[in-house]
Amino acid sequence: MENGTVTVVKENGIARITFFHPQSNSLPGALLHELAANIEQTGKDSEVKVIILQSEGEKAFCAGASFDELVAIQNLEEGKHFFSGFALVINALRKVPQLTIGRVHQKAVGGGVGIASAVDYCFATTKAQVKLSELVVGIGPFVVGPAVQRKVGVSAMSHLAINASEWQSAEWAREKGLYAEVLEGEEEMDYAINTLAEKLTNSNPEAMAELKRIFWQGTEHWDELLVERAGISGRLVLSDFTRASIAKFKAK
């Protein structure tokens, strides 16, 4: 439990993949790799018609990278490996043939915004504010950037990346295209998610897979691109500036 968990529940053609970490659903490297592996494996199940990605608990949907792990990185290889975990999750969501639905019940930070951007259709509550906080600690949203930019465009992506200390509302995220629907509370959101998921289980899997392939055209190079971006973050996290910024942030 200290390292977090990933669970997969399959029922009536719907797979619910749930991740959890006790530190506001932050994502250490091992949990990122486990999440990516579960998404990839679920995608191979022909009985699964739609995938719902969600997190557990009443706190943040995802607090992004684990600061404890960031400060423990000692060299470029370790840094690149850690940030490649986000690349694996995004690429797994991109490549599974099923349409994916996101359930964002609370705030999403950094990598959490990237995950919300990488699903095909994202639901949120009014509490699901977003922030790309990486620049505050001296890095930048390099790995998740392509996924965020694909969803919201260069202007909104720049807004989030540059104004890195400010939260943007769930409604702002919906207007920019990150969220497809914003509901008042979790009960209303879950009803909407279940309704859509059940409709999709009755749709033609081949047609949905072809739609998804079209939606993601132009991203075929992301296997290489996102790992290259991980190298940038891996280098920057070793800088004195970033280490001091993270230490200051953890001390608050």
Helix axes 145-162, 111-118, angle to 10 degrees: 130
Distance CA 211, CA 17 (A): 22
| Tens-place pLDDT, residues 163-183 | 999 999 999 999 999 999 999
> Domain extents for the chain?
5-185
For 86-131, write each residue's pLDDT tens digit.
Answer: 999 999 999 999 999 999 999 999 999 999 999 999 999 999 999 9
CA atoms within 13 A on the CB side of 112: 31
Cβ atoms 41, 95 nearer than 8 A: no
The per-residue pLDDT for range 39-49, each reduced to its tens digit, is: 999 999 999 99
Q: From 3.40.50.740, 3.30.950.10, 3.90.226.10, 3.30.70.250, which CATH number describes the 5-185 domain?
A: 3.90.226.10
Enumerate the β-bridge partners of residue 109.
Answer: 131
pLDDT digits (tens, 9 = 90+) for 39-75: 999 999 999 999 999 999 999 999 999 888 888 899 9
**Amino acid 1: pLDDT:** 55
Rounded Cα distance between 132 and 90, Å, is 16
For the whole prediction, is pTM greater than 0.85?
yes
- Pairing between β-strand 121-125 and β-strand 99-104 as defined by DSSP bridges: parallel
Tens of pLDDT, residues 199-230: 999 999 999 999 999 999 999 999 999 999 99
The set of long-range contacts for 200-205, using a CB threshold of 8 Å and a minimum separation of 24, is 200/49, 200/50, 200/99, 201/12, 201/13, 201/14, 201/49, 201/50, 203/49, 205/46, 205/49, 205/97, 205/98
- Give the whole-number percent of the chain exceeding pLDDT 70: 99
Considering only residues 42 and 245, tell me which one the structure prediction assigns the higher pLDDT.
Answer: 42
